[in-house]
Amino acid sequence: MSQENGATDLVQLEAVPALAGLYRRALLTTAARRVARKGAPSDLPAVRHRVGGVRVELPAITCFQHLLGSAARDQLPSAYLHTVAFPVAMSVLARPDFPLPLLGMVHLSNEVRQERQVGVSETLDVVAWSEALRPHPAGTQVDLMTEIAVDGERVWSGRSVYLARGIRAVGAPERSPVERPAFVPPVPTGLWRLDADLGRRYAAVSGDWNPLHLSGPSARLLGMKGAIAHGMYLAARMVDEAVPAPSGALSWRVDFATPVPLPGRVALSFASPTGEVAAAGSRVDVVGWDAKRRRPHFTGWVRAE
Amino acid sequence: MANQAGAQNAAQSPRTAVVIGGNRIPFARAGGAYAYSSNRDMLIAALDGLVARFGLQGERIGEVAAGAVLKHSRDFNLTREAVLGSALSPETPAYDLQQACATGLETVVGLSNKIRLGQIESGIAGGVDSASDAPIAVSEGLRRVLLDLSRAKTTQQKIRILSTLRPKDLSPNAPGTGEPRTGLSMGEHQAITTAAWQITREAQDELAYRSHQNLAAAYDRGFFADLLTPYRGLVRDANLRADTSPEKLATLKPVFGKGLDSPATMTAGNSTPLTDGAAVVLLGSEDYARANNLPMLANVVDAEAAAVDFVQGDEGLLMAPVHALPRLLKRNGLTFADFDFFEIHEAFAGTVLSSLAAWEDEEYCRRVLGLDGALGSIDRSKLNVNGSSLAAGHPFAATGGRIVASLAKTLSEQGGRGLISVCAAGGQGVVAILEARN
């Protein structure tokens, strides 16, 4: 997961930017773009944003772990590392020369490869960039890449795919929309009961105050029917419940299908695929869905080594 | 003669239960480094440290037994939930046990017995307690109203039930340290015993001082390197004051026994503070240890529990181990002279010193314990050689695991036989014998 374009600028940030500020700035950019009705440019900025010497706060990490229902252990949850790096990635999206509007972008998937467990007291260096701007049947998608290193050694890397709905930045899609096979819910193994205030509580522990997640009115401003759960909350909980006590490398992927409304209930299936070779590490497949409407919210897998 | 009887007892036991090792997190003062960590968090941290140390990832252990004294009602299955959150196999069974401050030691006794009987090959015993994350319950009045409300069918019924609610019902109930039957706190109970045995302030401060000195020395020589996993930024017990002195301890104001006729002697320095922490011990059969290439630090030989009638004032609340010990020694044909190390839990310095005084008192031993004479004296140089609860702190249910692991390691290094004595609320106590393997 590296991009060697030759002429890539490295932008050193003083500190991890505050997401609230980025969202405010993005809101203004969106408004300005609407007013100017400018056609979106078709090139991603050839930059990497980097923040060094990032430390996590113990009380904050404890709150994050407890909100997931996981144990307050001295290792950082894999999804928390994403949370630490996320504002740096967002600062790339919030650049005036970034071709897509940050607000209202839909989070499609995450794939993470973690080389080893990271302790709460380790000092992190975060670098983020965007790549692979490409058409999607519903608009334009882009990959947000983040890497976290400790003492110059990469410990965590993630690819988040985002969709800017209705925006044609790079021409029409090559293929017509693929017909999704009908969703057949698996045998449920669990149930998440998500409270109405979950979005605000997760925002408080993750710093991600995206209006989509905070309240009905703020979500409706961005075209949603109501508040929806943070994708990373669902992913973090999925990873933690699939592998509660990882000790080595960890890989996981989540694909988001439909948003999870708040308050809401998510039916869950955690299953180890049969026939999996044990030596390759244990893998857990996860599906989260709406039991009433019989439609998937997300699918994913977690593999511990 | 003594050893012969001990050997005979061992011969009746089909198998030997051994202490393989232990792990705990450093103990924190209440409201300190673990202020926001729950019992489950700390128990998992202790378990995962043990798993890492002995390579138990994904292993199905015969059984895990642990407990907490201050426990939320949601933690009814605390130990099993901790196992599920740990790196152990989810197929590891677990149960909760609660015997106040004797919880940790009693889990060691129970699982050792299962190992000796051949019911399990391996076990993890331990305990955890958080004074910081203590449960707070709604008042009895509010609880009654809420339960009645849940059963009410009509709006009228609901209004009638709600109208019985009084403002005072809205204040919550926090756990107290009082004995339910007497209303006295543990410290006040001990103050009565301390005064009855005429234990001086100086003697108590001296014991506290030695506890800090011994614990600090143990840390300095790396004794805890393989007994402890740092947690939440703590690398050693937060209560430890390596630089304290009898003079400093003498400046503290008494906190217990101020209403008694004799001068109050018990201070915050010679009493244990409220503490957060967790400790676990890995136990196994000899076959299990050998098959898995694991060390065998010491054998768990025998144990005895006792309880005293402290309600009518016959005996001190924390004096039950004084009664348990002669029974345990007699059954094993041993005397104090047969022991090289004594681990007497320092709930209060006064508890340890009252126990020692009682065993040395001929009249008391004849009249109360039914012995022929005084049980004997304990060589102070063999007492709590690596410090105890006054220095380390005392997260109630975690103390047993701390003591067993430390004593087993001491025995593996220096040989000999060790005695453990732990007092508990409710007038109970548990004593146990550990023995070096060589």
Q: Give the whole-angstrom CA distance, residue B362 versus residue B375.
A: 8
pLDDT recorded at residue A275: 52
- Range in B68-82, B167-181, B205-219 the model is least confident about: B167-181
Residues of A in contact with B41 (CB under 8 A): 65, 71-73
Q: Which of residues 224-253 of B touch A (CB under 8 A)?
A: 230-233
State which amino acid sits at residue A302. Answer: V
From the list A59, A63, A245, which residue is nearest B85 (CB)?
Answer: A245
Q: What is the mean pLDDT of residues B46-63?
A: 96
Which CATH number do you get for residue A166?
3.10.129.10
Chain position carrying tokens 């004997």: B376
Residues of A in contact with B45 (CB under 8 A): 71-74
Per-residue pLDDT of chain A (305 residues; tens, 9 = 90+): 444 445 678 888 888 888 777 777 776 666 666 555 455 556 888 888 999 899 998 989 999 999 999 999 999 999 999 999 988 988 888 888 887 777 767 889 999 999 999 999 999 999 999 988 888 887 888 999 999 999 999 999 999 999 887 777 566 555 555 666 788 899 999 999 999 999 999 999 988 888 888 888 888 887 788 999 999 999 999 999 999 999 899 999 999 998 999 999 999 999 987 655 444 567 899 999 999 999 999 999 999 98
Instruction: For chain A, say whether B333 makes contact (Cβ under 8 Å).
Output: no
Q: How confident is the model at residue B437 (pLDDT cuts 50, 70, 90)?
A: very high
From the list A66, A71, A247, which residue is nearest B44 (CB)?
Answer: A71
**Minimal CA separation from B181 to chain A, in Å:** 36
In a domain, A2, yes or no: no
Tokens in use for B39? 């019992």
B41, B42, B81: best to mutate for the A interface, most A CBs within 10 A: B41
**Minimal CA separation from A157 to chain B, in Å:** 24
State which amino acid sits at residue B252. Answer: L
pLDDT recorded at residue A165: 78
Q: What is the mean pLDDT of residues B144-167?
A: 86
**Minimal CA separation from B234 to chain A, in Å:** 11
pLDDT recorded at residue B433: 98
pLDDT recorded at residue A3: 43
In a domain, A230, yes or no: yes
CB pairs under 8 A between A and B: 46
Cβ contact B66:B94 at 8 Å? yes
Range of the domain at A290: 9-304
Q: How confident is the model at residue B153 (pLDDT cuts 50, 70, 90)?
A: confident
pLDDT recorded at residue A171: 62
> In the sheet where A124-136 sits, what is the strand order?
A9-12, A47-54, A124-136, A139-150, A153-165, A106-114, A250-256, A295-304, A282-290, A264-271, A190-194
pLDDT recorded at residue A71: 93
pLDDT recorded at residue B180: 85
Instruction: For chain A, say whether B40 makes contact (Cβ under 8 Å).
Output: yes
Tokens in use for A208? 């991600």
Residues of A in contact with B231 (CB under 8 A): 74
Q: What is the mean pLDDT of residues B291-303?
A: 97
Report the Cα B129 to chain-centroid distance in Å. 10
In a domain, A54, yes or no: yes
Cβ contact A98:A92 at 8 Å? yes
Instruction: Please check the confidence at residue B238 and state whether its pLDDT lies above 90.
Output: yes
Residues of A in contact with B51 (CB under 8 A): 245
ipTM: 0.82
Higher per-residue confidence, A281 vs B347: B347
CB contact under 8 A, A58 and B232: yes
pLDDT recorded at residue B7: 47
Tell the burial category of A223 from Cβ atoms under 10 Å away from its Cβ (0-12, 13-18, 19+): exposed
Instruction: For chain B, say whether A247 makes contact (Cβ under 8 Å).
Output: yes
Name, in order, each residue with C-beta under 8 angstroms of A57's C-beta and a sequence gap of 6 or more: none
In a domain, A1, yes or no: no
pLDDT recorded at residue A32: 62
CB contact under 8 A, A72 and B41: yes
Instruction: For chain B, say whether A62 makes contact (Cβ under 8 Å).
Output: yes
Domain ranges (residues) in chain B? 1-134+181-438
pLDDT recorded at residue A289: 95
Instruction: For chain B, say whether A74 makes contact (Cβ under 8 Å).
Output: yes
Asked, as a colleague might, if the bond just before B254 is cis with ω within 30 of 0, I would say: no
Instruction: For chain A, say whether B36 makes contact (Cβ under 8 Å).
Output: yes
pLDDT recorded at residue A40: 53
From the list A121, A244, A247, which residue is nearest B84 (CB)?
Answer: A244
Q: Are strands B63-66 and B94-96 parallel, antiparallel or unpaired?
A: parallel
From the list A62, A73, A74, which residue is nearest B36 (CB)?
Answer: A62
CB contact under 8 A, A72 and B233: no
Q: Give the whole-angstrom CA distance, residue B46 versus residue B23.
A: 6
Domains held by chain A: number: 1
DSSP string, B26-40: PPEETTSTTTT--HH
pLDDT recorded at residue A31: 61
Tokens in use for B231? 């947690």
For a pLDDT cut of 70, what percent of chain B falls above it?
A: 96
In a domain, A3, yes or no: no
Name, in order, each residue with C-beta under 8 angstroms of A227's C-beta and a sequence gap of 6 or more: A196, A199, A212, A213, A214, A215, A216, A218, A219, A261, A262
For a pLDDT cut of 90, what percent of chain B falls above it?
A: 81
**Distance between first and last Cα of chain B:** 20
Supply the residues of B annotated as catalytic: 101, 394, 423
Instruction: For chain A, say whether B276 makes contact (Cβ under 8 Å).
Output: no
Q: Give the whole-angstrom CA distance, residue B330 versus residue B161.
A: 60
Q: What is the CA angle B131-B133-B138, rounded to 5?
A: 105
Q: Give the whole-angstrom CA distance, residue A17 versus residue A15.
A: 6
Nearest CA in chain B to A245: B87
Tokens in use for A157? 């890397």
From the list B40, B48, B231, which residue is nearest A245 (CB)?
Answer: B48
- Give SS3 for A136: strand
Q: Which residues of B22-51 are buried (b: 16+ CB within 10 A; e: fewer)?
A: bbbbbbbbbebbbbbbbbbbbbbbbbbbbb
Residues of A in contact with B26 (CB under 8 A): none
Bridge-partner residues for B430, per DSSP?
B305, B422
**Minimal CA separation from B418 to chain A, in Å:** 34
Instruction: Please check the confidence at residue B173 and state whether its pLDDT lies above 80.
Output: no
Instruction: For chain A, say whether B178 makes contact (Cβ under 8 Å).
Output: no
* Topology annotation, domain B1-134+181-438: Peroxisomal Thiolase; Chain A, domain 1 (3.40.47)
Higher per-residue confidence, B38 vs B169: B38
Q: What is the mean pLDDT of residues B250-262?
A: 92
